Amino acid sequence: MCSDIVFSKAYFTKSAPSLRECPPETGVEVAFAGRSNAGKSSAINALTNSKLARTSKTPGRTQLINFFNLSDTQRLVDLPGYGYAKVSRDMKEEWQRNLSEYLQKRQCLRGLILLMDIRHPLQDFDATMIRWAIDADMPVHILLTKADKLNRGPANNVRQAVIKELKAAGIANRISIQCFSALKRTGIEELQNQLQSWLTLDNAEHAPASL
């Protein structure tokens, strides 16, 4: 039996500039990705009840993949934010190479949390990220962030519209989606349940078959 993950126990372990420098693939991890300013740092901080992820960054500086451990074998991974207009083309291309390589080759990756501002969902590169993940057979859980900016009805309409669009594109299969607000602390439990289920998958594999 696996015990519940205590997210507030997360601690920073490493920053890696590329896949080569990521920690060894022992255990399992879940990655967080999203456009710059989508609310990724705020979400990670709300999830872990900490200030682990910085909320004010200088866009354009070297982009690192940050690793936070929940235990010796379970990690959260903060991927560099994308879509910042002033980043040079070289940097964008390098970042995209790193990202696609990470999603395709990282064997211990169990799922991708994709964050999109609820007022601007499914921008160009979001769709690319979803395709990369689906192509790599990776499940995706979408957070529609800053949901406090909309009332509940309109927020749910956005959620339905995104689902419809993903279905129309034929990529809704392994995707789940929820509203989230770091500010109001709504949706945290739903996110924790998703992470818990992905990060404890391997334990089930090692347990004796119970059916």
For ligand GDP, the closer of residues 145 and 194 by Cβ is: 145
Strand locations in 53-211, DSSP E?
65-71, 74-78, 109-117, 140-145, 175-179
63 binds ligand GDP (CB under 6 A): no
For ligand GDP, the closer of residues 132 and 180 by Cβ is: 180
Structure tokens at 165: 């669009």
104 binds ligand GDP (CB under 6 A): no
Residue 172: how many CB atoms within 10 A of its CB? Answer: 18
Structure tokens at 128: 């690319």
For ligand GDP, the closer of residues 32 and 102 by Cβ is: 32
SS3 category, 191: helix
149 binds ligand GDP (CB under 6 A): yes
Instruction: Say if strands 74-78 and 28-34 run parallel, antiparallel, or are unpaired.
Output: parallel
Binders in 118-137 for ligand GDP, by CB under 6 A: none
For ligand GDP, the closer of residues 55 and 160 by Cβ is: 55
Structure tokens at 31: 């990655």
Asked if 36 and 123 touch (Cβ cutoff 8 Å), the reply is no
Which listed range, 5-13, 63-71, 175-183, 189-197, lies at the site for ligand GDP (CB under 6 A)? 175-183
Q: For residue 157, what are the β-bridge partners?
A: none
Asked if 139 and 112 touch (Cβ cutoff 8 Å), the reply is yes
Q: Which one of 101, 148, 165, 202 is in contact with ligand GDP (CB under 6 A)?
A: 148
> What is the gyration radius of the CA atoms in the chain, in angstroms?
17
Binders in 32-61 for ligand GDP, by CB under 6 A: 34, 36-42, 55
81 binds ligand GDP (CB under 6 A): yes
Which listed range, 3-11, 141-149, 167-175, 201-209, lies at the site for ligand GDP (CB under 6 A)? 141-149
For ligand GDP, the closer of residues 81 and 111 by Cβ is: 81
Place of tokens 């959260």: 76
Q: With contacts defined by CB under 6 A, how many residues of the chain interact with ligand GDP?
A: 17
In this structure, the dihedral spanned by the alpha carbons of residues 80, 83, 86 and 92, taken in order and rounded to 10 degrees, is 60
179 binds ligand GDP (CB under 6 A): no
For ligand GDP, the closer of residues 108 and 142 by Cβ is: 142
Binding footprint of ligand GDP on the chain (CB under 6 A): 34, 36-42, 55, 81, 145-146, 148-149, 181-183
